[in-house]
Chain A
Amino acid sequence: MSLAQRLSSINSQFLYLALIVVTTIFLFPQIKIPNKPDQAAIDLYVAVSQIPADKPLLIQSDWTNSSRGESSGQFEALMRILMRRGQKFVLYSVGDPQAPQVARNVIAIINKERVDAGQQPYLPLRDYVDVGFLPNAEGVGQAMKANIRRAFGDKTNRGADGQERTIWSTPWLAQSKSVKDFGMLINITASSTIDVLIERLGGEVPLGLLCTGVIGPQMIPFYNGKQLVGLSIGLKGVYDLEWMMEHGVRGAQTREVAGPDEVVSANHPDIKIPKLEGKNLDRGSKYYLSLHAALALMIICVILGNLTLIGARLKGRKA
């Protein structure tokens, strides 16, 4: 058996083992890999950064632990951005009964981080409201369009004083009577809940999307069609967000000399968003090197797989 043949008939169990080894080893070295964020992610970041501070956001968090590798990094980054900017938001889920809990866990972790850094934690009712799980994605979309107050109903949150109060009792939600009164609706999802949103709330409120790499390609046409103001896809998207938080974004027109890592947005000629202070690089940076390794392994596999095919063809040509 020639080497080429042997290489192209590897038992799949060896490949599986190789993947485990490769991804694990590269989790440990901490290297900051240079990055150029996607324009779609830049658009999302800029759009979020430009929402007036007094306009609350709607955050539809539909991910669970099964897509933790991508979604939790995205949600963490989003929460950090919003909290640093002091943006108020309404958090709800339609995708899975378990989604609110994983979101709460992330908020608790980031709050701890904030307290450790000497900042105020983000508290229910005061800084955000937690609507929890609303079953039936299509129905919720329909109802939000018709009447957002009835769609969310009389959900209560426990305030800092330990009292349960209805979410509509918060002063910063008083002016929000319809979906149109919100600055943006951001969906963090691993499923097709975003389709439901585009179908039912498209045009009512700007839609932003943080999705997994699986949903991503399918959503690019909707981003190009301006139905989404921006989107961050998968682990690369997480790293993009972390990178922009760490280095800031400027428009192609602002002529100040910037660091080599600063992000330049082609779609926003005269914008200047400074870097955010505090912990910016987290899960995206931790996993990115392993992702490289895994992708490299994949490419090697494809090449090996093709070796015999090419070899056999060459042989056939000679004969």
Chain B
Amino acid sequence: MAVEAKPLYSSKATEHQETNAEELRKEHLMLDPMPRDEMNQMVMNAMHTTTKKYWVFLIGFGLAVVVLLFGAWGYMIANGMGVAGIRRPVFWGIFIVTFVFWIGISHAGTFVSAILRVFKAEFRRPFTRAAELMTTFGLAAGALYPLIHLGRVWVFYWMIPYPNARWLWPNFRSPLVWDFLAITTYLLSSTIYLFLPLMPDLAMARDRTTGWRHAIYKVLSLGWRGTEAEWLRLRKAIGIFAFAIIPVMFSVHTIVSWDFAVTMVVGWQSTIFGPYFIIGAILSGVSAVVTILYIIRSTMKNFDYFIRPEHFDGLGKLILIFSMAWAYFFFNEYILSWYGGEEALKQLLTLHATGPSAWVWYLMLICNVAIPWLFLWNKKIRRTPWIMFIITLLVNVGMFAERYTIIPLTLGHQRNPFDWGIYNPTIVEISIVLGTLCLFIFLYLLASRLIPLVPVWEVQEGQMSHTFRKVGKTEIPSVTELE
């Protein structure tokens, strides 16, 4: 680190290096500043480094998308929904489960970068972009499902409100139309929200590339120079977005939950579904951020500088909190249903816990409650990335199991026992589900080499505003408000 005077850095701190400060520096990215040009170079390097392995994975996942997703989907379109395992009375199966799952995942980006931004949680800085990318791609994968699960996908546009030759407008009283509007809103806004803070970094990339990349970055960065007016504009836009996208995020998952809660289905009709789904979504989303950060950190060049145990630690705490909140909502939902004593509901809850698919229910509780509660209180575990990777993967397995319990397992046991039915997903359904997972990974792999995964300017801004301040005998980090 350069020793020259930095207005925003306490020069004393550099002179009197104490072990405490040294440790803190190692610990916190914000206290471990690096010159801009070096940081740029690191990010650009990470972006440009493509190993053979990378190409194998990229092409492999690309092929998987074509075969698993589009192949199976095409087969289903050609033959009919019957190739999926859904049946009377389980008319929604793993497609809607995965839909809700992806929409849940997509909450992470917004949560991390909007809510943490609003509350100025500094540790967010290096991974907001990674989380926002997850939002966008998660939504892209999830938004396919309302199409995939349509019986006649070739007329999906009949849901879109526009003046048409049929002289018909969609039914704005239908939660599916709300869904359509909410997801469109969220997809567009989260993409914009990804794009806005990206502009300065695109400009940075533009300055460091030639050829086709340069051309693309030039267009995308909209001629960014970094004038005061531009920064102000950007700050204003991000400011408005960070506030506006939070209610949109809440509304999206609430509306997704209303797809279920407005019905007469036993076990769906619940007033608590909105917040219950939101908490579940954030739990699953934040966990997915950790999973992805681990992968990025261990596969991409220079990322161990940006992503540090402190980030796993912070996110781990969040996961623990949301796991507790989720358990609270789950219990709330459960005890009230149980206490009400409605025959069908009681039967349903009993079947969830003792029926042939009870393992799904227990998987949900183990992964969503037991595992986070048992492990995440421990700082050492929270700071060990690979353990966090496993735990967060399991949390998402649990969240998938939760949606599976709520959708096909609940639909299968309604008021008329004569019509009960057990749903088994078919190979086609599983293939499509894996296909969207591959799509997500494929897009992420592609994006990791096309856009700077770290918002360099935000990290720089953060590092500039962090400093050591002497208090009594020791120096402690302090944050300056730059904006």
A and B are partners in one complex rather than unrelated chains? no
